[in-house]
Chains A and B, each alone.
Chain A
Amino acid sequence: MKKNKLKLITLILLVILIIMVGFFGVYSREKGIAKNNVKDYEYATNINGARIAKFELSTSTKETIKDADGKVIEDATEEEIAEKGYTKQEEPVNKDENKTHENYELTKQIIKSRLDKMGVKSYVLRLDEETGNLIVELPENDNTDSIINIISTVGKFEIVDADTNEVLLNNDDISTSNIYRNTTAYGTEMSFSIEFTSEGAKKLEEVSKNYATIKEDNKSEETSENSEEATVSENNEGTATEEKKEKKVSLKLDDTELMSTSFDDPVTTGKMYLTVGQAATTSEDLESNYTQAQRMSTLLSTKPMPLTYNSDSSTFVEGALKENITNKILIGVAIVITIAVVILLAKYKVKGLFAGICFAGLSALLLLTVRYWNVELSKEGIVAIFAVLVLNFILVYKMLNGLRKEEDNKKVETKHVINMAIKDFTLKVIPLFIFAVVFAFGTWEAASSFGMVMFWGLTLIELYNLFITKNILK
């Protein structure tokens, strides 16, 4: 009997301790200032606020050189222009005929694909259907600037002949691109793949054969093939030999050359791998290489934008709910606890009071779990907290109801009644558990926040009531 009382007092003290820590925290003095040592809540974008980036259709112009037939000439000197009768004119980067509703919608879809590819967990896109201007709301973190840069890039990728500028492969030939990390003795290498479509793979194989690297040993070999590309030179002995000139391809992004290369071997896999920078030995270098690889991988995996946008301004705007959000949550939870305790106390007297204390303990434990499990609380996550509290109230109420019904039946043990209530509850919440687990693994911030809170809430309801509430009520 004495042992039981001691156990009860210990459990109640433990619950009170959880309540104190969960709701009020643990304070220590640091330089004369009281500091709460309990971890703070982390909030998701729809609470914390978002970076609002405005994308406006570019009104800039670009210089275009055309020949007499109106064909665009990539590059020409002033003398060539005068000599060959080329004309030079300024043209808007966004031609009027391209400013269509379809292109605005397409641009929005491309931005959406890029954000999905980069795994951005929460965003809102707003398209002004009249002007084509876009507003993108993004989570604020270290990558936000880089993301804005990537989504505002046109992303026109081309593999061209380095000499003639003939387009050999472009975005249409690419199916996807992925990032790869390889740790070597020299550091961590970051690379990205360019994976071609079946049609693109055939073209790439052809290109890799035509633009093969000429190895030193073969340089002086006579070649009969591609004689039009061969040049004649004299060797040291004064004998005339045919020397094949190595042809190179240029990889261009938005008309800017990224690199110029030739192929060591024919590419038959339909995949190219390009390494970004040098092997990184510091986290800063690794981060920088990753950002570059991510940029390329994202742009190559999505179509080029049909229009050019400028992103001049981006501002962080705090969520409308953010102000004193922690206090608001705590007050909300306190109100639910008060209502629960009043109902339980009124209906079940002393047992109701104990059950009420247990209810408050679970609420505090849930809040602590959310903080220490780094759950980013979104509006949906906060809703889940209250849903868990309601579910726990239903279970506690059922336990007490069961106990009251069996009060006269001395053969039935309290433990058994509570076990049955928990079992019944568990069977009913299995679908919710499945729902919570699937959502916890969701990539979307709102879904994962809701899923995580529900998962931990349901787990705590089961374990806490089995080990704490049952032993206190018993």
Chain B
Amino acid sequence: MKKSLVLILIVSIIAGLIVIFTVGFNLKVTTKAHQEILVNIGEEYKNEEVKQLAKEVIGNDIEVQKTGDFEDQAVISAETISKEQVTEIVNKINEKYGKEISDGSITINDVPAARVSEMFMPQIWSFIIATIIIFVYFAIRYKKQGVARVLLTAIIGLGLLELLVSSIIALIRIPVGQNIVSIIYITYAIAMLVVTTMFEKKAQQLKLEEEKKKK
């Protein structure tokens, strides 16, 4: 059971890495280069309602955001938006809200991509500092387990978990955007928790053995 689990994990990581380096991550629509239109609805609306209308025309991969002083305008983003789709969306909005918005006044704007790495890079120093302090703590608290062994386990544990999570994200095509930051944080926290639990367990075992020897 344990062997088959390890095998599944290794295969997942390898497959994930192949996907990452060949196809790449499935980027969220607002992260990759996309197009957007601004529709002035002229009254308060619910994002979900407009999103539903746009989905019927464009498909699932869209985002709707409110703008305007009265939050009565909608920015609809999708990978590509054609003029025909604009007309269709506007017709649907007119029908739903009883408006007479003209599609002629709506321009399709190109929005360049945002780099996912740049979303993460400003936090790199926090990660480095936190990791150094944690590793120093590990080295002091678990020195009986061997400093090199402890640090190596921590590095491998952290690296493997981050790799595994990245692979799963790539394999099951979770849309990646700024959410990558939360995923990295949580994976890091879980990795630290798992590694510390392992070390604590070992520390208790060593303590018991020492007590037995004394007796």
A residues near B (Cβ < 8 Å) are 46, 49, 116, 124-129, 133-135, 315-320, 322-323, 379-380, 383-384, 387, 424, 427-432, 434-435, 438-439, 441-444, 446-447, 450-451, 454
Contact = CB atoms under 8 A, between A and B. Distances in A.
Given A387-B186, A434-B137, A135 B112 contact: yes
Contact of A49 (B65, B188, B200): B65
B126 A379 contact: no
B56 interface: no
A450 B65 contact: no
B47 to A, nearest CB: 5
B192 A431 contact: yes
Interface in B91-140: 110-114, 118-119, 122-123, 125-126, 129-130, 133-134, 137-138
A322 B112 contact: no
Interface residues of B, number: 42
A435 B123 CA distance: 12
Contact of A434 (B63, B119, B134, B181): B134
25 contacts: A125-B114, A125-B118, A126-B112, A126-B114, A127-B112, A135-B112, A380-B181, A380-B185, A384-B185, A387-B186, A424-B200, A427-B200, A428-B197, A431-B137, A432-B193, A434-B130, A438-B129, A438-B133, A439-B130, A442-B123, A442-B125, A444-B123, A444-B126, A446-B182, A454-B189
* SS class, residues of chain B in contact with chain A: helix
Contacts of A135: 111-112
A424 B123 CA distance: 30
A394 to B, nearest CB: 9
A318 B67 contact: yes
A319 B66 CA distance: 8
Nearest to B109: A54
Contact of A379 (B66, B67, B179, B193): B179
A316 B70 CA distance: 11
Contact of B182 (A133, A383, A429): A383
Contact of A318 (B65, B118, B134): B65
A421 to B, nearest CB: 13
B178 interface: yes
Contacts of A442: 123, 125-126
B173 interface: no
A430 B196 contact: yes
Given A431-B138, A443-B122, 17 more contacts: A116-B122, A124-B114, A125-B118, A317-B65, A317-B66, A317-B75, A323-B46, A323-B66, A379-B179, A428-B193, A431-B137, A431-B195, A434-B133, A435-B188, A438-B133, A444-B126, A446-B123
B90 interface: no
Interface of B: 30, 46-48, 63-67, 71, 75, 110-114, 118-119, 122-123, 125-126, 129-130, 133-134, 137-138, 178-179, 181-182, 185-186, 188-189, 192-193, 195-197, 200
Question: Nearest 6 pairs between A and B by C-beta?
Answer: A438-B130, A318-B66, A126-B112, A128-B112, A442-B126, A383-B182
B192 A126 contact: no
Contact of B134 (A124, A133, A317, A431): A431
Contacts of B48: 323
Contacts of B46: 323
Contacts of B185: 380, 383-384, 439, 450
Contact of A432 (B63, B118, B126, B192): B192
B178 to A, nearest CB: 6
B112 A318 contact: no
Contacts of B114: 124-126
A59 B133 CA distance: 52
A428 B134 contact: no
A320 B76 CA distance: 10
A435 B200 contact: no
B112 A129 contact: yes
B64 to A, nearest CB: 7
B67 A124 contact: no
Nearest to A46: B178
Nearest to B182: A383
Contacts of B75: 317
A134 to B, nearest CB: 8
A384 B183 CA distance: 11
Contacts of B189: 387, 432, 435, 454
Contacts of A446: 123, 178, 181-182
A435 B66 CA distance: 35
B67 A431 contact: no
B65 A379 contact: no
A320 B28 CA distance: 13
Nearest to B113: A126
Contact of B123 (A126, A387, A447): A447
B197 A320 contact: no
Contacts of A318: 65-67, 71
Contacts of A316: 67
Contacts of B179: 379
